[in-house]
Structure 1
Amino acid sequence: MNIRLAHDQDFYALLELDTLALTNLHRSEKIKQWVEEKTCYLIECNKIISAYGVLNYSFFEFGYIPMLMVRENFRHKHHGISLITYFQEICATPKLFTSTNQSNIPMQQLLIKAGFNNSGYIENLDEDDPELIFIYQKC
Structure 2
Amino acid sequence: MGNTVQFRLAHAGDLPALIDIDSVAAHDRRRAELLQHWVAARSCHLLLLDGHLVAYGVLHHHFFDSGFIEMLMVGAHVRRRGLGEALLQHLVSRCERPRLFTSTNRSNQPMHALLARNGFIASGQIDNLDPGDPEQVFFRPGVGAAQPAM
TM-score by length of 2: 0.90
8 Å contact kept, 2:57–2:72: yes
8 Å contact kept, 2:6–2:51: no
Asked which structure has the greater CA Rg, the reply is 2
Alignment of 1:12 with 2:16, yes or no, is yes
Residue of structure 2 in register with 1:29 after alignment? 33
Q: Distance in 2 between matches of 1:29 and 1:114?
A: 30
Matches within 5 A, 1:65-104: 65-104=69-108
Alignment of 1:111 with 2:111, yes or no, is no
Post-superposition offset of 1:58: 2.4
Post-superposition offset of 1:4: 0.6
Q: Distance in 2 between matches of 1:115 and 1:72?
A: 25
Aligned with 1:54: secondary structure? strand
Structure 1 segments (4+ residues) deviating >3 Å: none
Q: Distance in 2 between matches of 1:104 and 1:126?
A: 12
Alignment of 1:38 with 2:9, yes or no, is no
Aligned with 2:23: secondary structure? coil
Report the aligned-residue RMSD.
1.0
8 Å contact kept, 2:58–2:71: yes
Residue of structure 1 in register with 2:54 after alignment? 50
Alignment of 1:62 with 2:66, yes or no, is yes
> Could you list the runs of 5+ residues in structure 2 that have no partner in the other structure?
none
2:131 equivalent among 127, 130, 133? 127
Per-residue CA deviations over 1:90-135 (Å, capped at 9, x if unaligned) read 1110110000000111111111111100001011111110100000
> Could you list the runs of 5+ residues in structure 1 that have no partner in the other structure?
none
8 Å contact kept, 2:8–2:45: yes
Aligned positions, number: 139
Counterpart amino acid of 1:83?
A: L
Aligned with 1:21: secondary structure? coil
Counterpart amino acid of 1:67?
A: M
Aligned with 1:16: secondary structure? helix
Q: Distance in 2 between matches of 1:20 and 1:30?
A: 11
